[in-house]
Structure 1
Amino acid sequence: MGHEKVKFPKRLYDALQDYGLPENGNESWPVGTISGLYDQWREEESSVLGTFIDGNADNQWKLIDALRYGYEAETEPIYYVRFIQNNSHSFLNSSESDGLEISDNEETEYIKTKFTMPEILAIDPRYKAFAVPVEEGKADD
């Protein structure tokens, strides 16, 4: 009977990776692993992991399932930043060479047109208002 891997937010996934927890589950000594994780989290005052499990039985079971069945990062939603509706050349583009510009939403090896929300907020928090989920933001022909 197969079980799906447990999905964790990216920050939590990264913390488990940093700890060295294998993604495939089937932990050979789960109680020892959980105990080790718990001890480490208690030592780190502002631990992402500690906050996740502290006093939350559902999250503790989720961690146990991750040890048993494996875990993976949740996929973050991605967005276009579209400044003008019904205009196929009004999308935010980012490239190493040219920086930010407005153009179409065709992504290439050198031009990025799809962004996660943290990336958008890092560029300019005001751009959040123009974020469109990628599946809804196809360029108009």
Structure 2
Amino acid sequence: MEHEKVKLPKRLYDALQDYGLPENGNESWPVGTISGLYDQWREEESSVLGTFIDENADNQWLLIDAVRYGYEAEPQPIYYVRFIQNNSHSFLNSSESDGLEISDNEETEYIKTKFTMPEILAIDPRYKAFAVPVEECKADD
């Protein structure tokens, strides 16, 4: 029976990658793998991943399924940063040559107009208030 890979939050996906767990899973020693992960994460007192495992049984089953069937990162929602509603030239744009500017939301090879929330927060946390999911923005234009 073929199983789909487990979709994990990006933070957990990155941690499993750092640990060296193959994305296709590890069916040969799942208990040993999970035990090793748990021991490593418990040693880090502030580990978000240790907390993830301890939070509830559903999270533990999710990790077990990831070890057994493989895993991938959940797709992260993408956003425009729109400063003025109903204005087609009020979107945050980013390019290596020009840096940040305000213009339309047409993305090109050189101009980025769609961002993940972590990218927005890294630019300026205040921009979170202007984040609009790409799907919603297309619906109201």
**TM-score, structure 1 as length reference:** 0.90
Moved more, 47-56 or 7-16: 47-56
Deviations 1:59-96 (A, max 9, x none): 11111111111111111110001122222211110111
Are 1:23 and 2:45 counterparts? no
Structure 1 position 139, deviation (Å): 9.2
Q: C-alpha distance in 2, partners of 1:54/1:76?
A: 24
Q: Secondary structure at the match of 2:139?
A: coil
Moved more, 127-136 or 65-74: 127-136
Task: Check the 8 A contact 1:5/1:70 in 2, yes or no.
Answer: yes
Task: Check the 8 A contact 1:87/1:140 in 2, yes or no.
Answer: no
Which structure 1 segments of 5+ residues have no match?
none
Q: Give the aligned partner of residue 113 of structure 1.
A: 113
Deviations 1:1-59 (A, max 9, x none): 33221111111100000001111124211111111112211222222321111252221
| Residue 55 to residue 109, structure 1, CA distance change in 2 (3 Å) | closer
Q: Secondary structure at the match of 1:27?
A: coil
Equivalent residues, number: 141
**TM-score, structure 2 as length reference:** 0.90
| Residue 39 to residue 99, structure 1, CA distance change in 2 (3 Å) | same
Which structure 2 segments of 5+ residues have no match?
none
Q: Give the aligned partner of residue 74 of structure 1.
A: 74
**CA root-mean-square deviation:** 1.9
Moved more, 24-33 or 7-16: 24-33
Q: Secondary structure at the match of 1:137?
A: helix
| Residue 122 to residue 13, structure 1, CA distance change in 2 (3 Å) | same
Runs of 4+ in structure 1 deviating by more than 6 angstroms, as ranges, are none
Q: C-alpha distance in 2, partners of 1:6/1:31?
A: 17
Task: Check the 8 A contact 1:9/1:73 in 2, yes or no.
Answer: yes
Q: Secondary structure at the match of 2:138?
A: coil
Deviations 1:113-139 (A, max 9, x none): 001112212222222222111112239
Moved more, 110-119 or 40-49: 40-49
